[in-house]
Structure 1
Amino acid sequence: MNLILLLLSLVMIACILCNKLTSKVGIPVLLAFLAVGMLCGIDGVLGIAFDDFTMTENLCTVALIFIIFYGGFGTKWSAAKPVAGKAVLLSTLGVFLTAFAMGAFCHFALHTAWLESMLIGAVLSSTDAASVFSILRSKKLNLKYGTASLLEVESGSNDPVAYLMTTVILTMMTSDITTGRMLYMIFAQIVYGVGIGALLALCTVFFLRRFRFDTSGFDMVFMLAVAILSYVLPVLVGGNGYLSAYIAGIILGNAKIPNKKKQVHFFDGITSLMQLMVFFLLGLLCTPTNLVRVILSALAIAVVLTFVARPLVVALLLAPFRSKIRQQLLVSWAGLRGATSAIFALTAVAGGAVLEYDLFHLVFCVVLFSIALQGTLLPMVSRKLDMIDETVDVLRTFNDYTEQKELQLLRLSLESGNSWIGAAVSSLSLPPDTILATILRGTDNIVPRGDTILQEGDIAVLAAGHCKEKMQKIQLCELSIPPEHSWNGKRLADLKLPPEELIVLIRRGKETVIPQGDTVICPEDVLVMYDHN
């Protein structure tokens, strides 16, 4: 057990370090997670023999719940609404057309049976939300004409459609299914998936607006449980759990609920961990020697999918909306295949379907091609097509972005001797961009007006713009000087502080001392220290 924990921690650290490296080199971090898994696998450095497809499929299914739920929860509907029609068309009809096109190619070019060909097309028909979100956020790519939102909604909502096709085709391959049963299966997947997801989300919103958690963080644990329920409940009655999770996520993410911004950040962290786990497990499960057997077929599929099928489907569906050619080209190029395709391939293998091809390694090879080529070149292609919008932050398309500017509140006690005592608010000289927000006088909260007179004992609350630029590298802290402290009696000039540290203020009882080089530190002083890391 200890060795497993040691390996787990080292793998996580390695993946995090790879994130730093890949951001400098310019390749997607998800590709690094795959590489770490392959290095640990049977043909890698550690030589771990891991071939449990069923366990991997179960773990990846759990991870995909959170990835798809967050795909909806983190999408800002106000930004996505103008392009929602195009995005949904791509994620529904676009998925069916892509699956059919690739199924036809596999049947006629690779000479596979129709059902197996359509299964290959189905598992490769959806674009990967994790890959798209990761690249857009890490590279801060905001795209013109609402393209970022279009890609987010498409990649977040097309996985349930691909899963529907995959399960229907698998059922046809593994059992005798009547037309009526197949139609009911499709009906149940869609209706139960949408209905339960929406109903659960609305009930959750109603509950959160009326219930307050006594312990900090329990609201996030509660939302975690809701995400799992949104998948499990429809699956129990034959519905599409992924569709339900996405619907629930998008309703909850765009509803007015307490601590929503913290919830987004929480799920962002959970989803990052899930992505790491999924891509590492897929890399660990992969046997590189098996890739050699399918590499030619996989490359043929990847080339046709990337350069023929996806562009034709995008052009067919976006041309009626009079989308610009360069937007169509970028949407085509951004149709990355990722973890969901590999997970659906695992589902097919674990489902017991008899296949001519090694479906997992075939799809894995296509995923490698897509992430390595399309993911790496996506920023460059965006620039070449003049599709990057430098004036808008891509985070506007996510729910943790706020249009409102944050203000920093400052508390100033008016004690005896303060020059503001007895002065009218209109006579105060405040720094630029600073306002007197309110006055606390005993138990009263006074809204300041120009003729309001400040009194001794008042607490003036000042509001100023909150500085975010490089604030993560700046720290202010207070250092109390007890009588036995070694700095007592020393001049500031004699302390020889590091260049990044500075004493900006000294509080001495009720007196505020502006520090000079010859200022002597006294017992009970409180030093306000500035630290720039």
Structure 2
Amino acid sequence: MLVVSACADEVAEGEGAKNMEGVWSFGLAVLIVALAGMAALGSNWVSERARIPAPAFFLVGTAVAVDVFPLLRKLSMATVQDVVTIALVVLLFQGGMDIGWRRFKPEARAILSIGVLGTFATAGLLAVAAHLLLGLDWRIALLLGTALAPTDPAVVFSVLGRRKITGRTGVLLPGESGANDPVGIALMAGLLGTSAGSALGTAGHTALLFVQEMAIGAVLGAAGGWGLKFLMRKVPLPAEGLYPLRTLAGAFAVYGLTTVAHGSGFLAVFVAGVLLGDVRAPYKKEIERFHTALGSLGEIVAFAVLGLTVPLWTFTREGAWTDGLLLAVLLAFVVRPVVMAALLWRMRLSIGERVFLAFTGLKGAVPVLLGSYLVSSGVPDADRLYDVVFVVVVFSVIVQGSLVPTVARLCKVPMRSVELEPWALGVRLKDRPEGVVRHVVEEGSAADGSRVDGLDIGEDTWISMVVREGGIIPVSGSTQLRVGDEVLLITGDSDEECAGPFTAGRE
């Protein structure tokens, strides 16, 4: 009995040691992830000063780390795709909310034109270049062109950062990056879902799948946006912290439902976000701050995880560097400008605005995600194609992304830095404050440079507060408003009726 008891004690001690070793290993993993996260956040400080977009540090840094520490290359491609998909849902929903329906509606036709037609045209021209210059089969060349066609919301939002672009360009640029990602993903799904049969049959089947995904995504996205709007305004929750969680859960519900219905879940969450952008609802500011922070986290996670899938040591052997740089230069300085020139020529934009929009077709997580689909689908020579996509994305983020402020200045596109305002002054109310609206003075609006007593805002409307450069200024009839002033009005009119003097006219 003593021997059995001693053996049992030894087994128990062994199990306990294993459990403690597991706890220690988990703690070490948590420490490594936390330090990596803090380093990623700190890279934003470096990004501001080096003028290199932060996603470049996440993507290249993790790719280098994988070569130095091969044990990091344990994530399967399927897991990477799932993680990046979750991050994109968060980013597209937050990007849609940031634009809002009021800004999106006047530019909807232009955004859809460059977002849909621009993606198709870019994919086609890149396919021709890949076939002629890289010697790829036509179907493989079209898959590569489709992977590289969409711009990326994470990179666009990161490059802009605290910079704000006024006028139509400030809506078209983020609007395109949010709209063409679902288009590119749906087009890739359609191409991968077809066999290598006749060109006509393949094109017909791909077009059918594409239209189906876009239509279902748009309808369910609009329905989901209206449903979330009803919940936000009419259904109270017992705690403040639950309101942002409800919109987050709603965004993923919209994505899941649309995907199950064989629609574009990415388009659905973007549409839902746009419809919720201007909604006045309880705790709206808290909801917006929550999704902005979550979008920043999604950006870090997406690029860091994608970087783990790229073995840099294979690039020279497979010729990925030269092929990728060749396509990157063609895309940035030939293909994109040609496509945008054709699509923008009827729009009333200045030459500088056209050049700026043509230059800022930045690539990022979405092209790399689409490239990963080529690998997981068993496309011939997929590893080489994936490496080429990676090189194009790195070139776009580092070279094009760092030059965006300079190009904006040369093209005379209004871009101003928005200073952080860490202090808030507000009043919490139990009921919705009817008749209280907030507007920001836009460049070229009637309010820009006008005195308060000269504004045409109606007899029943008056300005109660003006916030300028982070401070409150006294308001009188002689107060002259400037671009960027935040104006709080008390009025009996709707938001749209009193927005006119503060919004730049659109032709």
Q: Aligning the two structures, in what range does the TM-score lie when normalised by the shorter sequence?
A: 0.7 to 0.9
Aligned to 2:215: 191
Aligned to 1:332: 358
Q: 1:369 to 1:252 in 2, by over 3 A?
A: same
Which residue of 378, 401, 423 corresponds with 1:375?
401
Aligned to 1:254: 278
Distance in 1 (alpha carbons) for counterparts of 2:406 and 2:202: 49
Aligned to 2:412: 386
Is 1:304 equivalent to 2:330 in the alignment?
yes
Report matched runs for 1:233-248 at 5 Å: 233-248=257-272
Q: 1:228 to 1:300 in 2, by over 3 A?
A: same
Report the count of equivalent residues: 406
Deviation at 1:175, TM superposition (A): 9.1
Which residue of 236, 248, 269 corresponds with 1:212?
236
Q: 1:249 to 1:278 in 2, by over 3 A?
A: same
Distance in 2 (alpha carbons) for counterparts of 1:85 and 1:367: 28
Is 1:162 equivalent to 2:163 in the alignment?
no
Residue segments in structure 1 that go unaligned for 5+ positions in a row: 410-462, 472-533
Q: 1:4 to 1:96 in 2, by over 3 A?
A: same
Q: 1:100 to 1:467 in 2, by over 3 A?
A: closer
Aligned to 2:11: none
CA RMSD of aligned residues (A): 2.7
1:330-382: CA deviation from partner (whole Å, max 9, x where unpaired): 10111100111101111222233333652221111100000000001111111
1:475-525: CA deviation from partner (whole Å, max 9, x where unpaired): xxxxxxxxxxxxxxxxxxxxxxxxxxxxxxxxxxxxxxxxxxxxxxxxxxx
Aligned to 2:390: 364
Which residue of 340, 356, 381 corresponds with 1:355?
381
Is 1:171 equivalent to 2:193 in the alignment?
yes
**Which structure has more strand as a fraction of its residues?**
1
Distance in 1 (alpha carbons) for counterparts of 2:467 and 2:168: 29
Distance in 2 (alpha carbons) for counterparts of 1:181 and 1:389: 43
Distance in 2 (alpha carbons) for counterparts of 1:95 and 1:196: 22
Q: Contact 2:337 / 2:358 at 8 angstroms: preserved in 1?
A: yes
Deviation at 1:98, TM superposition (A): 0.4
Q: Contact 2:190 / 2:207 at 8 angstroms: preserved in 1?
A: no
Q: Contact 1:98 / 1:313 at 8 angstroms: preserved in 2?
A: yes
Aligned to 1:202: 226
Q: 1:123 to 1:183 in 2, by over 3 A?
A: closer
1:248-283: CA deviation from partner (whole Å, max 9, x where unpaired): 111122333322222111111111111101111122
1:13-70: CA deviation from partner (whole Å, max 9, x where unpaired): 11112111221122111111123312421x1367633362111111111111111111
Deviation at 1:159, TM superposition (A): 0.3
Is 1:11 equivalent to 2:33 in the alignment?
no
Aligned to 2:141: 117
Which residue of 368, 379, 385 corresponds with 1:342?
368
Is 1:323 equivalent to 2:345 in the alignment?
no
**Which structure has more helix as a fraction of its residues?**
2
Is 1:142 equivalent to 2:168 in the alignment?
no
Aligned to 1:50: 74
2-11 or 350-359: bigger deviation: 350-359
Q: TM-score, normalised by structure 2?
A: 0.75
Flag as ranges the 4+ runs of structure 1 deviating above 4 A.
173-184, 406-409, 463-468
Deviation at 1:187, TM superposition (A): 3.3
Aligned to 2:488: none
Is 1:227 equivalent to 2:228 in the alignment?
no
Is 1:264 equivalent to 2:277 in the alignment?
no
Deviation at 1:468, TM superposition (A): 6.8
Q: 1:182 to 1:316 in 2, by over 3 A?
A: closer
Q: TM-score, normalised by structure 1?
A: 0.71
Q: Contact 2:194 / 2:205 at 8 angstroms: preserved in 1?
A: no
Q: 1:13 to 1:203 in 2, by over 3 A?
A: same
Distance in 1 (alpha carbons) for counterparts of 2:195 and 2:147: 15
Which residue of 48, 54, 68 corresponds with 1:23?
48
Q: Contact 1:291 / 1:365 at 8 angstroms: preserved in 2?
A: no
Is 1:279 equivalent to 2:303 in the alignment?
yes
Q: 1:24 to 1:180 in 2, by over 3 A?
A: closer
Is 1:99 equivalent to 2:139 in the alignment?
no
Distance in 2 (alpha carbons) for counterparts of 1:204 and 1:262: 16
Distance in 1 (alpha carbons) for counterparts of 2:53 and 2:203: 43
1:56-108: CA deviation from partner (whole Å, max 9, x where unpaired): 11111111111111121111333344433222210010111000000111112
Report matched runs for 1:435-446 at 5 Å: none
Deviation at 1:147, TM superposition (A): 0.7
Deviation at 1:207, TM superposition (A): 2.4
- Helix, strand or coil: the match of 2:68? coil
Distance in 2 (alpha carbons) for counterparts of 1:354 and 1:45: 28
Aligned to 1:32: 57
Q: 1:465 to 1:386 in 2, by over 3 A?
A: closer
Distance in 2 (alpha carbons) for counterparts of 1:360 and 1:271: 25
Q: Contact 1:94 / 1:313 at 8 angstroms: preserved in 2?
A: yes
Deviation at 1:470, TM superposition (A): 8.1
Q: Which amino acid aligns with 1:97?
A: A
Q: Contact 1:39 / 1:46 at 8 angstroms: preserved in 2?
A: no
- Helix, strand or coil: the match of 2:165? coil
Q: 1:98 to 1:181 in 2, by over 3 A?
A: closer
Aligned to 2:447: none
Larger Rg: 1
Q: 1:248 to 1:469 in 2, by over 3 A?
A: closer
Distance in 2 (alpha carbons) for counterparts of 1:206 and 1:179: 40
Which residue of 61, 74, 88 corresponds with 2:85?
61
1:456-485: CA deviation from partner (whole Å, max 9, x where unpaired): xxxxxxx987787389xxxxxxxxxxxxxx
Q: 1:40 to 1:173 in 2, by over 3 A?
A: farther
Aligned to 1:437: none
Q: Contact 1:86 / 1:150 at 8 angstroms: preserved in 2?
A: yes
